[in-house]
Structure 1
Amino acid sequence: MPLHLPTPLLQSRPLSLHTGKTVWLKMEALQPVGSFKIRGIGAVCEAYAAQGKTRFVSSSGGNAGIAAAYAGRQLNIPVTVVVPETTTARAKALIEQEGAEVIVHGASWMEANARAQSLLDDSTAFIHPFDNADMWAGHGSLIDEVVNAGVDFDSVIVAVGGGGLLSGVIAGLERNGLGRLPVLAVETLGADSLAQSVAAGQRIELPAITSIATSLGAKAVCKNAFALTQTHAIRCATVTDLQALQACEQFLHDHRVLVEPACGAALAMLYSADRALTADFQRPLVVVCGGATATLEQIQQWRKQAS
């Protein structure tokens, strides 16, 4: 039995009225760990457990670490998560709540990841937060559920951090014969490594993450995500931190679910961003990827700072 749950698929009346489109929401924020991450990470952890691994080590800005910790607890396997200094106190508390050890190291995920790699041995499996083909296949199960529900969607809107969810969405589309559908990949300015890579024509590394959406805080997307921009109908978009935060607050008002700014970035494409990018989308599917690491008070505080 998989570690993730099938999540609700809702037609958003508020967003449909706001945009004049039929907007579908895949509610990944309602996973037991608060985000889509458990789909792919759960599948990877189960595979490693079957191989006889007795310890998991992960590196994470928050949500992947929570998912790895949850998977380890469900599988009775100890977990260590290395997080960067930018990780919120809430994210660290949620990882520890699942029984995992938390190590804080480095100014960004890349430094934390290097430390995590140093902790590996033959009995330990490394749980990458976004760069693993089996993980992408697991994330793609959210598309399987939408297709099985018989919903006729014509596009997907998804937030991009390291590119794991984007890779998973496209894997799910392709295995369901929907590889032609356009995907809008959304990042916040200051964490827009994919958009900058596409503009440059090569995969680039940001000098630093300056967005408050630290869940999108990979200074470089995985190679697979960039490669997909060459073969799939992926459109890149960026929103401001303020737009993402406003989307979080409006989504809470409209649907009574709190998501973090990384998820707000995708929602902002329908609430407040440049409509030209979605002009030809009539039935968009928005992956409400969730995120458990930000409180309402923190979102409101960030919004004051961003205004």
Structure 2
Amino acid sequence: MALHLETPLLESRPLSQASGRAIWLKMDALQPPGSFKIRGIGAACEHHARSGKRRFISSSGGNAGIAVAYAGRRLSIPVSVFVPETTTERAKSLIRQEGAEVFVHGTSWQEANERALEAVDVETAFIHPFDDPILWTGHATIIDEVVKAAVPFDAVVLSVGGGGLLSGVAEGLARNGLQDIPLIAAETEGAASLAASVKAGRRVELPAITSIATSLGARKVCQRAFDITQTLPVDCVVVDDRAAVNACTRFLDDHRVVVEPACGAALAVAYAHADRLARFERILIVVCGGATASLAQLQAWQAS
């Protein structure tokens, strides 16, 4: 049995009214570890378990680590997650709550990732947080479920960090014959590595992540995500941190679910940048979730 759940698909009256368009929400914030990550990471962990691996190692700023830890607990395989110093105490506690070890190393995900790779041996599987074809195939099930529900849509709005979700959604569209449907890729200022790459015509690396949406904190997107922007209809939208946080608080009022600013970036497209949706009629928003933001943290960000 898959480690992820088939999540609800909801028509959002509040978001539809805010944007003047019919908005449907794929509620992956309701996955057991709190985000869409378990779809692909669960598939990868099951694959490596079948191959006889006896330990999982991952690197993460939060949600991917929580997903690996959850998968390891369900599969009875020990997990070690390497996180940077910027990772919140809440994220570390959620990883430990699933029974995994947490190692803190470096000031960025890149440094934590390098240390994680050094710890891999022949009995260990390294679970990348976003750059792995097995992950993309797992994330593609989001689109499979929407198609199975027979809900038509003419655009998909999603948040982009390292590009794993974008790569998975594009694969899901392609395998359902929907590859011509435009993707609206939302990022926050200070974490917009995809938008910077599209503008430059090549993958570029940000000097640092300065957004509070640290879950979007890959300084360079994966090659697959960039390639998708060169061959498929992808529209990059960059919102500021305040718009992302405001979207989270409005979404909490509207749908009674707490999500991170990384997810708020996608919601902000409908709440605050509806002009970017004007040419569409029925829009699917992937509510990717995120377990590391609390109500108190959202309120603190709003007050700052």
Please, what TM-score do these two structures have when normalized by structure 2?
A: 0.99
The answer to whether the 8 Å contact 1:83/1:104 transfers is yes
The residue matched to 2:162 in structure 1 has which SS?
A: coil
Conserved in 2, the CA contact under 8 Å of 1:188 and 1:240?
A: yes
Give the Cα separation in 1 of the matches to 2:275 and 2:10. Answer: 24
Deviation for aligned residue 1:304: 1.9
Structure 1 stretch 94-103 or stretch 18-27: which is displaced more? 18-27
Q: Distance in 2 between matches of 1:156 and 1:32?
A: 23
Q: What per-residue deviation string (whole Å, max 9, x for no partner) do you get for residues 200-233 of structure 1?
A: 1110000000000000000000000001100010
User: For 1:296-307, what aligned pairs fall within 5 Å after superposition?
Assistant: 296-305=295-304
2:164 maps to which residue?
Answer: 164
Q: Judge conservation of contact 1:164–1:222 (CA < 8 Å) in 2.
A: yes
Counterpart-to-counterpart distance in 2, 1:65 and 1:18: 34
Read off the aligned partner of 2:197 and give its amino acid letter.
Answer: S
Residue equivalent to 2:139: 139
- 1:6 paired residue number: 6
* Alignment partner of 1:249 is 2:280: no
Paired AA for residue 206 in structure 1: L
Q: Distance between the aligned counterparts of 1:18 and 1:56, measured in 2?
A: 43
Shift in Å, 1:105: 0.8
Structure 1 residues 165-188: Cα deviation after superposition (integer angstroms, max 9, x where no partner): 000000000000000000000000
CA distance in 1, matches of 2:6, 2:65: 21
Match in the other structure for 1:21 = 21
Given the alignment of the two structures, is residue 174 of structure 1 paired with residue 168 of structure 2, yes or no?
no
Distance 2:275 2:16 in 1: 16
Provide the rounded CA distance (Å) in 1 between the counterparts of 2:58 and 2:22.
38
Q: Is the 8 A contact 1:88 1:294 kept in 2?
A: no
Opposite residue 213 of structure 2, the aligned amino acid is A
For 1:93, the equivalent position in structure 2 comes to 93
* 1:110 matched to 2:110: yes
Q: Distance in 2 between matches of 1:213 and 1:99?
A: 26
| More deviation, 10-19/22-31 | 10-19
Q: Matches of 1:59 and 1:279 in 2, distance apart?
A: 39
Q: Distance in 2 between matches of 1:74 and 1:140?
A: 22
Counterpart secondary structure, 1:253 = helix
What's 2:57 paired with? Answer: 57
Provide the rounded CA distance (Å) in 2 between the counterparts of 1:140 and 1:11: 21
Give the partner amino acid of 1:181. Answer: I
Matched, 1:33 2:33: yes
Q: Name the aligned partner's letter for residue 279 of structure 1.
A: A
Q: Give the match for residue 209 of structure 2.
A: 209
Give 1:169's aligned amino acid.
V
The 2-side partners of 1:99 and 1:258 are apart by 24
C-alpha distance in 2 between matches for 1:58 and 1:26: 26
Residue 220 (structure 2) aligns with? 220
**Matched residues in 2 for 1:286 and 1:217: separation?**
21
Moved over 3 A (4+): none
Deviation of the 1:278 alpha carbon: 1.3
Q: Distance in 2 between matches of 1:6 and 1:144?
A: 10
Secondary structure class of the residue paired with 2:289: coil
Alpha-carbon contact 1:28-1:288 (below 8 Å) kept: yes
How much does 1:276 deviate? 2.9
Percentage of identical aligned residues = 65
Aligned-residue CA RMSD (Å): 0.6
1:32-64 Cα offsets, whole Å, 9 max, x none, are: 000000000000000000000000000001000
Which residue of 2 is the match for residue 276 of structure 1?
275
1:123 corresponds to: 123
> Which residue number in structure 1 is paired with residue 287 of structure 2?
288
How much does 1:20 deviate?
1.6
Residue deviations 1:57-95 (CA, integer Å, cap 9, x gap): 000010000000000000000000001111111100000
TM-score by length of 1: 0.98
CA distance in 2, matches of 1:29, 1:193: 23
Structure 2 residue aligned with 1:155: 155
Superposed CA deviations along residues 263-286 of structure 1, whole A, max 9, x for unmatched, are 00000001012x332111210000
Inter-partner Cα distance in structure 1 for 2:263 and 2:80: 25
Aligned residues: 304
Inter-partner Cα distance in structure 1 for 2:175 and 2:88: 36
Paired residue type of 2:140: G
What one-letter code is carried by the residue in structure 1 that aligns with 2:278? A
SS in 2 for 1:106: coil
